[in-house]
A and B are shown apart, each in its own frame.
Chain A
Amino acid sequence: MLYGIAVLVTDFFALPVPPVLTGMVLFFLLLVTGVLKPAHFEHSSGLFYRHMALFLVPSIVGVMKYWGILRQQGWALFLIIVVSTIFVLITTAWVAMLCKQGGKQNDGG
C-alpha cells in the first residue's frame, strides 16, 4: 500500500529516481517520526525479506531472451563482474577503515 503511494508521489513530481527509493525514504521518515511502529510490520516484512529471491526469479529467467549476447561475450562479462566486485569490496573497506582511523586521531583518541 505504501509502495503504491510512493509510485504516485514519484510520478506526480516526475522525480528522476525509482519509486522504490521514494518509498523507502518515506517509510523511514514515518518510522522515525513514530507515525508507524516497526512491530506492525514485523510479520509481513519478515516474510518478504526471507523470500526476496522468489520475486527475483522471473527477472533472471528473462536472461533467456539475451542468450545471444551471453554466448558471444560471456567471458568478458564474467571477468568484468568479478574484477569490479573486487574493486568495490576493497575500496569500500579500505576507505572506511582509513576514514575511521583519521577520525579517531582528530578526536584525540
Chain B
Amino acid sequence: MTADSGMVWLLILTVGAYVIGCRVNQKVGRVWSSPILMSPLLIIAVLSATRTDYAAYQTSTHLLTFLLGPAQMAMVIPLYKHADVFLRHLRPILTGVSVGSCAGVASVIGIAYLFQLSHPTIVSLAPKSITTPMAVSVSHLLGGLPELTALFVTMTGLSGILIGPVILRWAGITNNLVKGLAMGTAASMVGAARAAQWGEPEGAMGVLGMTLSAVFMAVLAPELLWVLD
C-alpha cells in the first residue's frame, strides 16, 4: 500500500467514525454515547486491529487537527450576539471566572503533588478546564503532553456535564445565567453546550465562561511555568 492511499483511508475512517458516533448518539441520547467519546474508541479499535501506527494516523488527520483553530474562532459569534448580557454583569462574571479558574488550577496541582505525579503529567492536567485547542497550546507552552491534555479536557467535559447540574443544584445556585457561566468555565465546550439546553442566554454565558477562562489561562500560563519550576 502506498503512503497516499493509506492517508486517505485514515481520514475517511475518522469522519466515518464521527458520523457513526453522531447517529448512535441520536438513537441512544445518553451522555456516555457522545460522539466525542464513541468515535475515538472506535478508531483506536480499528487502528489496533489493523496494526496501524499512530504516527501514520497523526499525519493523515493533520488537516482535521489544523481546522480546529478556525473552528474555535466561530465561537466569537454567539459571544458578540450576547455582548449586552456580558456588559451588564461585567464584574461578577470576571471575578467568578478568574477565581474559579485559579481554584481549578490550584486544586489540580495540589492533588497531583499528593499523588506524586510526574511533572509533564501535572503540566498536562493544569489547563484541563479550558477549551481543547487553547489547552493544548498552553500545555505545549508549559512542556506538557498535548495528547494527554486533549484527553483530560474531554474527561473534564464529560464529568462536567455528568455532575455539573447536580453539584450546582446542591450548592444552591438558582440563577440560570450563573449556572451557565460555571458550566462553561469548568467544562468548556461540552459544558457550554449543556448550558445551551437551558436556553440561549445560558448558552452564551457558557461560551463566555469558556472564552474568559481560556483567555485568563493563556495570560496566567507563563506565570504558572515559573511557579512550577
Contacts and interface: CB of A to CB of B under 8 A. Distances in A.
Interface residues of B, number: 98
B204 interface: no
B77 A92 contact: no
A14 interface: no
A57 B111 CA distance: 28
Contacts of B39: 53, 57
Contacts of B111: 79-80, 83-84
Contacts of B17: 57
B147 A62 contact: yes
A35 interface: no
Given A49-B74, A57-B18, A63-B150, A85 B57 contact: no
A88 B99 CA distance: 8
Contacts of B187: 85
Interface string A61-82: 1111110011001001111111
Contact of A88 (B48, B54, B71, B182): B182
Contact of A64 (B47, B73, B189, B215): B47
Interface string A18-49: 11110110011001100000100110111011
B181 A88 contact: no
Contacts of A65: 54, 147
Interface residues of A, number: 68
A107 to B, nearest CB: 11
A58 B57 contact: yes
Contact of A81 (B71, B156, B179, B181): B156
Nearest to B81: A38
Given A20-B137, A91-B100, A92-B97, A86 B163 contact: yes
Interchain residue pairs A-B with the least CB separation, the first 8 = A92-B100, A96-B96, A18-B137, A62-B147, A45-B74, A59-B150, A99-B92, A88-B104
Interface of B: 14-15, 17-18, 34-36, 39-40, 43-44, 47-48, 54, 57-58, 61, 64-65, 67-77, 79-81, 89, 91-93, 95-97, 99-101, 103-104, 107-108, 111-112, 115, 117, 121, 125, 128-129, 132-134, 136-138, 141, 145-148, 150-152, 154-156, 159-160, 163-164, 167-168, 171, 173, 175, 178-179, 181-183, 185-187, 189, 209, 211, 214-215, 218-219, 221-222
Given A89-B171, A93-B171, 4 more contacts: A27-B73, A58-B64, A82-B163, A92-B103
